[in-house]
Amino acid sequence: MRAIVSKGAQAELIAMDIAPPTAGSGEVVVDVRAIGVGRVDLIMRQLMPADFITGIEVAGIVTSVGADVDPRWGDRRVFARMQAGGYTEQVVVSEDDIVALPDGVAFESAVASGVNALVARFCIAKAQLIAGETVLVRGAQGGIGHLVVQMARILGAQVIEGRKNSPPVPADVVIDLVACSEARAGVGRLDAKSRAVIAGISAGMPPADFAGPLLTDFRRSRSLMTLSLDSYPPSVVSYAAKEVFTDVAAGKITPIVAETMSLSQANAAHRLLEAGGIVGKVVLLPDPRMVR
């Protein structure tokens, strides 16, 4: 089968033929129908050695199950999470990392919400955002950010979509998905007893002293937190994913598919992300000859 392989940080992704996966104990094989493309893929290309397959989320159909797996997973439409390996025709994943998709959720919508919606959901929960509060979302137009905005408004919060050089406005909560040098300004917008959550560094690492205002004015009891899905058990993430897809199927939240491209266009998809300005999620689809 075909896979898109990273050959190093400065090299182009290349298509290669690899052996189809086999489900081991506790695992399933998923026939991939849609692949989520995110900035984490770009970061992994910088950090990982050559000859790995990027991609942390796919949607597709379970084609085989291993020992100790509920056989009812067979032929089901699922969303699957993984540490890497998603840019390919088929993936093998743990049963713990798949979630059944409701009939009303297309494969493209599944990966356009998927990990992004989970990060958004956990950010809001970690910040303990409630109705009536004001939340500043840095990176509000991105794949995660537009879902944070939707979820916050469902809660009844007032949303400020943070933009470069926008005038400072006090906030009860800051959800920062981009970081960089402006992270300090975001922290500075916090009111007394307010909270900031950093869940992304797509624009770069913040300066070392970006949290300084919290210490120089500690009597205001403001809080700074970070968030990664990796810190949550798979069972907790899967439960949250079921709720996310239920909301997508019901039309409560609407993931935006910014662009669909074929799997063979992975390099172009990454260049699109690198250029910036994408609203929503870039999705890769298997080439027509790949779909069985």
Within 8 A by CB and 6+ apart from 8, the residues are: 45, 49, 50
Band (pLDDT 50/70/90 cuts) for residue 290 is very low
pLDDT of residue 193: 67
Q: Is the distance from CB of 190 to CB of 116 less than 8 angstroms?
A: no
Report the phi/psi class of residue 70: left, alpha or beta, with left for phi > 0 and alpha for psi in -120 to 50.
beta
d(CA 212, CA 226): 16
121: β partners: none
**Is residue 25 exposed (0-12), middle (13-18) or buried (19+ Cβ within 10 Å)?**
exposed
| Residue 52 · residue 87 · CB < 8 Å | no
At 10 the pLDDT is: 78
Q: Give pLDDT tens digits for 237-258.
A: 999 999 999 999 999 999 999 9
Local confidence band at 160 (pLDDT 50, 70, 90 cut-offs)? confident
121-126 LR contacts (CB < 8 Å, sep 24+)? 121/151, 121/240, 121/243, 121/244, 122/199, 122/227, 122/229, 122/232, 122/240, 123/148, 123/175, 123/197, 123/199, 123/227, 124/148, 124/151, 124/152, 124/155, 124/175, 126/197, 126/225, 126/227
Residue 66 burial by Cβ neighbours in a 10 Å radius (0-12, 13-18, 19+): middle
Predicted pLDDT at 292: 38
Task: Quote the percentage of the chain above a pLDDT of 70.
Answer: 83
Question: What pLDDT is stored for residue 50 in this prediction?
Answer: 79
3-state secondary structure of 128: coil
125-139: average pLDDT: 91
Sign of CA dihedral 273, 114, 60, 94: positive
Q: Please say whether the beta carbons of 115 and 229 come within 8 A.
A: yes
> Residue 291: what pLDDT?
41
Spell out the alpha helix ranges (H) of the chain. Answer: 39-47, 107-127, 145-155, 183-188, 212-216, 234-250, 266-275
Read off the pLDDT of each residue in 128-154 and give the average, rounded to a whole number. Answer: 90
Q: How far apart are the first and last CA of the chain?
A: 12
The count of other CB atoms within 10 Å of the CB of residue 163 is 11
pLDDT for the residue numbered 4: 95
Task: Determine the 3-state secondary structure of 31 from DSSP.
Answer: strand
Least confident of 28-37, 90-99, 125-134, 218-227: 218-227
Residues 169-184 have a mean pLDDT of 72
Q: Mean pLDDT across the chain, nearest whole number? A: 86
Q: What does the pLDDT look like over 46-83, one tens digit per residue?
A: 888 778 899 999 999 999 999 999 999 999 999 999 99
- Across 188-214, average pLDDT: 65
In percent, how much of the chain has pLDDT > 90?
Answer: 60
**pLDDT value at 201 more than 70:** no
Question: What's the length of the chain?
Answer: 292
Q: Give me the mean pLDDT over the 172-192 stretch.
A: 68
- pLDDT of 44 reads 87
pLDDT at site 41: 92
Which range of 151-160, 183-192, 200-209 scores highest in mean pLDDT? It is 151-160
d(CA 257, CA 246): 18
Q: Give me 6's structure tokens.
A: 């990273």
Residue 253 token pair: 């939240």
